[in-house]
Structure 1
Amino acid sequence: MRDPRSALAETVSRIDLLLTDGRTRDDVLDLTDLSVQSGVPTEVIAVLLDGGEAPAQDISDRIIGRIVHLRETRLRPDGTRHSYEEIASSFGASRASLSNMVNGRKKDAAARPARSGGPLASTQAGIERFFFGEPTGWLSADPETALNDALQPILKQLRTAAGDTVGADRAVALRAAAALPADKWELLQGVIDTLEKQARAELAQE
C-alpha cells in the first residue's frame, strides 16, 4: 500500500502543475470546503498542504470527532441535525449506545492514554452507510488519506479544464521534467531513448 503522505504529496504536486494563467492554490482550494469533505480541521489541512505532518491523535477521538462533524455538516433538508436515534436505528443500535459513545468519549479526552482501537467496525460501517450510502472508511481514515480523497474531484476538474486527461497528464509530466536538475535530465533522456528504440523495433517487426 502506498504511503499516505507520498500519495497526498503527489496529488498536491499534480494540482500545482496544472495551475496555469497565474492561478495559485488559493484560487482552487477552499480550506473550509475541504474540511467539510474530509473531516480534517482547516488548520491541519494547511499544514498538510505545505508538506507538514498532522498532529498525533487517538484513533477513537478522531472517529468521534468525525461523527460529530458529520452531524454538523450533513444536515437534514430542513437544516437540522440528524438525531442519534435516527442514525443508530438505521443499523440496529440504540440511541443511548451511540449518544453515550460520543459524549462519553468527548469528556476528559486529554486524561486518557492513546489507544490503537476505536468504536466497533460494525458501528463505524453503520454510521458511514447512513451518511454516505455505503461503508467508506471515512471515519477512521488518517488525515492524509482523507484530504487526498477530498482533493481528487478538484484534480479531476483541473485535468478536464486542461483538455483530455491524457493530454493533461502529459502536460504535468513535461512541467515536472522541466524542473529536473541536469543529472536527472540525463537519466530521463536515457529512458526516453530506450523507449524509442523499443518502439522502433516493435514497428519493424509488424
Structure 2
Amino acid sequence: MRDPRSALAETVGRIDSLLVKNGRTREDALDVRELSVRSGVPQHLIPVLLDGGALPPEDITERITNRIVHLRETRLRPDGSRHSYEEIASSFGASRASLSNLVNGRKKVSSPALARSTRSGGPLASTQAGIERFFFGEPNGWLSAEPETALNDALQRVLTDLESTDSSDNLGADRAVALRTAAGLPDDKWQLLQGVIKTLEEQARDDLARGESL
C-alpha cells in the first residue's frame, strides 16, 4: 500500500501543474470549506496537508468520534436538521445511548459491543460500518481514514474536473490548428476534405436516427 503522504503529494502535484498551465492558483480553484466537508479534515489543517506538512498524532477513537460529529453537522436532513443519534444507531441495531456515549467519550458505555470496542482502541468494525452505511450507503472506511488519505480522496473530483477542462482546451486548440491548415489547402484537396466531412455528418445523422428509433 502506498504511503498516504506520498499519494497526496502526487495528487497535489498534478493539480498544481494543471493550475499553472492554465494560469490559475490554488486559491481560486480549491474550496477549502468544501474539501473539509468531503474529507472530514478541519479547514485550518487542509492548507498544512496541501503544503506537504504533517499533522500531530491523533488517537484513532478521537478521529472517528470527531468525524461522526462532522457527519451530523454537514450531512443534514432535507429540512436542514441533524440526524439524531437514535436514527443513526437504530439503522444498524444499536441504541441511541450507546452511540451518544461513544461520541461524548463517557466511560460508562451501555452497549457491551461498544464497551469492547472502546477497550480495543476504537469502535467495532460493525459499528463503524453501520454509521458509514447510514451516511454513504455503504462502508467505505471514511471514519477511520488517515487525514492524508481522506483529503486525497476529496481532491480526486477537483483533479478530474481540471483534467477534463484541460482536455477540452487541448481539443479546441487542435481544431483551431486543423482549420487554419485546411484554409490553405488547394481547391482539389479542399473539395476532398469537404466530401469527408459531409460523409461523417450523414453517418452521424443516421446513427442518431437509429438511436431515437430504439
Q: Where on the TM-score scale, by shorter chain, does this alignment land: which range?
A: 0.7 to 0.9
2:5 corresponds to which residue? 5
1:86-125 superposed matches below 5 A? 86-104=87-105, 117-125=121-129
- State the alpha-carbon separation in 2 of the partners of residues 116 and 51 from structure 1: 31
- Structure 2 portions without partners, runs of 5+: 108-118, 172-214
Counterpart check, 1:32 vs 2:33:
yes
2:133 corresponds to which residue? 129
For normalisation by structure 2, the TM-score amounts to 0.71
Letter in 2 for 1:76: R
Letter in 1 for 2:38: Q
> Residue 116 of structure 1: CA displacement?
7.7
1:80 corresponds to which residue? 81
Give CA deviations for 1:44-69 in whole Å, capped at 9, x if unaligned: 11100011001211000000000000
CA contact (8 A) 1:71 1:82 kept: yes
- State the alpha-carbon separation in 2 of the partners of residues 117 and 42 from structure 1: 26
- State the alpha-carbon separation in 2 of the partners of residues 89 and 75 from structure 1: 17
2:154 corresponds to which residue? 150
- Structure 1 portions without partners, runs of 5+: 107-114, 169-206
- State the alpha-carbon separation in 2 of the partners of residues 147 and 80 from structure 1: 26
- State the alpha-carbon separation in 2 of the partners of residues 48 and 134 from structure 1: 27
2:71 corresponds to which residue? 70
- State the alpha-carbon separation in 1 of the partners of residues 93 and 74 from structure 2: 23
> Residue 131 of structure 1: CA displacement?
0.1
> Residue 42 of structure 1: CA displacement?
1.2
Q: Identify which of structures 1 and 2 has the higher relative contact order when contacts are C-alpha pairs closer than 8 Å and 6+ apart.
A: 1
Bigger CA radius of gyration: 2
- State the alpha-carbon separation in 2 of the partners of residues 101 and 121 from structure 1: 14
Q: Alignment partner of 2:22: what SS?
A: coil
> Residue 117 of structure 1: CA displacement?
2.7
2:50 corresponds to which residue? 49
- State the alpha-carbon separation in 1 of the partners of residues 123 and 47 from structure 2: 28
CA contact (8 A) 1:59 1:116 kept: no
> Residue 105 of structure 1: CA displacement?
5.3
Q: Which moved more, 1:95-104 or 1:150-159?
A: 95-104
Letter in 1 for 2:154: A
Aligned-residue Cα RMSD (Å) equals: 1.9
Check 1:135–1:11 CA distance in 2 against 1; reply closer, same or farther (3 A cut). same
Letter in 2 for 1:13: G
- State the alpha-carbon separation in 2 of the partners of residues 65 and 121 from structure 1: 17
